[in-house]
Copies of this chain bind each other. A is one copy, B any other.
Amino acid sequence: MTARIFNFSAGPAIIPESVLEEAKENLLSLGSTGIGIMEHSHRGKAFLAVYEQAVARCREIAGISNDYEVLFLQGGASLQFSMVPMNFLAAGQTADYLITGVWSEKAREEAQRFGTVHEACSSKDKNFTYIPQELKPGSSPVYTHFTSNNTIFGTQFRTEPTPAAGSFLVCDASSDIFSRPIDVSKYGIIYGGAQKNLGPSGVTLVIIRKDLIERGQKELPTMLQYRTHTKNESMYNTPPTFGIFMMNLVFGWILKQGGLAAMAAKNEAKAKVLYDYLDQSRLFKGTAQADSRSLMNVTFVTGNEAIDQQFISEATKAGFDGLKGHRSVGGMRASIYNAFPQEGVVELVKFMRDFEAR
């Protein structure tokens, strides 16, 4: 087999090798069933056991109480950008949106089709290089939406913001979900595409407070009502069974690592290696404000586009893949999600030091 290389991709992203090995073993026969994981009916016993374990592990990892439903949907965060306001924001009502990057802007854009959107804060004035500390809530917002981690700009909320009184908190946690402990009870809805911390693309984790479900609009397409999916345990239609299987394996891996506290410690240690180096480098410079730095996506530049290009090109040849910054901002980005090994950041810093010396 080809040696695996350091994959800094922002998503789809690295998956723990042990999880991939486990997936491999079950491709032609899930356990001893004689039928591969992808070939099992979603209504059969074998897949239902996978699904139930995935829900149970998810609840265990994040301490999710019975006041919440755990759903596995399709369409990614991008479809949730619409489903949330479609269900909960009626014409004439207001929702607060915290604007900290491209993804929160996209979420706001979809919400504007349904009701009034109030910008409770924005860091656009400094090209989204920081997380605003103060919110100016709108008038009686139904909910408050934020993006916990901004992959493109390398910023991350330290903790969840406090929504306006009477408003429930909605979080697009696609790029930092389960990277650190989370107090689910503070949220109304948490959603995230799986392709960064939870598995392959094509499955979306949605954690939703049960009392909200029936408050959702009723005159919506069946697939776009949360109640459809909660009533049918994510199986109103055929769910992405392989994605759920993979997520279940990743959940198992997180538990084996020691859960979210252990994940957080590892992620802090990894990010520290990179940020410590950036803080003393004369060539490379982190782009996010120190108090807003993301532990998932470390963004940096040399200040010279040609040198950035040269660095990315040499790094790629040396086996550090996916370091190119997002198309919209350029520079470099090292995405170091849960599954990314400490060794990889240590090696990258060595390489950066050498490059700087040259």
A interface residues (Cβ-Cβ under 8 A, vs B): 1-5, 7, 9-15, 17, 20-21, 23-24, 27-29, 31-36, 38-44, 74-79, 81-82, 86, 106, 109-110, 113, 193, 195, 199-203, 219, 221-224, 236-243, 246, 319, 321-322, 327
Sorted nearest first, the 9 A-B pairs with minimum C-beta distance are A202-B240, A82-B221, A5-B34, A78-B237, A74-B74, A38-B200, A2-B29, A9-B41, A201-B238
Measured between C-beta atoms, what is the minimum distance from A7 to chain B in Å? 5
Q: A222–B39 contact, CB under 8 A?
A: no
A95 to chain B, nearest CB (A): 15
B223 touches A82 (CB 8 A): yes
Residues in B neighbouring A35, C-beta threshold 8 A = 4-5, 7, 9, 14, 321
**Complex partner residue of A34 from B29, B195, B243, B319, CB under 8 angstroms:** B319
Q: Which residues of B contact A193 (CB under 8 A)?
A: 237-238
Contacting pair A14 B39 (CB below 8 A):
yes
Give the residue name and chain of the B residue nearest to A202 (CB).
B240
Partner of A4, one of B29, B38, B44, B202: B29
Asked if A27 and B28 make an inter-chain contact with CB atoms under 8 angstroms apart, the answer reads no
Residues of B near A81 (CB, < 8 A) are 221-223
Asked if A12 meets B40 with Cβ closer than 8 Å, knowing A195-B238, A223-B82, the reply is yes
List the B residue with the shortest CB-CB distance to A195: B238
Interface contact A241-B9, CB-CB below 8 Å? no
* A44: chain B residues within 8 A (beta carbon): 9, 322
Q: Contact between A2 and B34 (Cβ–Cβ < 8 Å)?
A: yes
A194 to chain B minimum Cβ distance, whole angstroms, is 9
Contact status A33-B2, CB under 8 Å: yes
A20 touches B24 (CB 8 A): no
- What CA separation (Å) do A243 and B42 show in the bound complex? 16
CB distance from A299 to the nearest CB of B (A): 16
CB distance from A339 to the nearest CB of B (A): 9
Show 23 residue pairs from A and B whose CB-CB distance is below 8 angstroms, ordered by the A residue: A1-B29, A2-B33, A3-B34, A5-B33, A7-B34, A10-B41, A12-B241, A20-B28, A21-B28, A38-B201, A44-B322, A74-B74, A76-B238, A78-B222, A78-B237, A109-B222, A110-B221, A195-B238, A200-B242, A202-B202, A202-B203, A202-B242, A242-B242
Q: A202 contacts B241, CB within 8 Å? A: yes
A32 to B86, CA, bound (A): 44
Pairwise interchain contact A201-B322, C-beta atoms closer than 8 A: no
